[in-house]
Amino acid sequence: MEENNKTRPFSIKEQEEIQMRNVLQCVYDSLKEKGYNPINQLVGYILSEDPTYITNHNNARSLIRKIDRDKLLRSLVQNYLKL
């Protein structure tokens, strides 16, 4: 049995991106389950940081508040521009 001696670099930024994506997906799914337009609700929350745009269903409101809004906006712009 050959041992793999290659070390994979650990990226905190990559882990944050994955966590933000997972939270957004959970919140999106919760909003959709409750019959809301998830995109409109998420945009309202991002622009205002008013948690009432997000449902409490599946603990979505608590989850979304764990994301730093500035980091989220930065990530969204970078992904949109493919930087």
pLDDT tens track for 24-79: 999 999 999 999 999 999 999 999 999 999 999 999 999 999 999 999 999 999 98
Neighbours of 48 (CB within 10 A): 11
Residue 72 sits at the vertex; the CA angle it makes with 60 and 56, to the nearest 5 degrees, is: 10
Number of folded domains that form the chain? 1
In a domain, 12, yes or no: no
Tell me which residue range forms the domain holding 65: 17-81
Contacts 24+ apart (CB under 8 A), 48-52: none
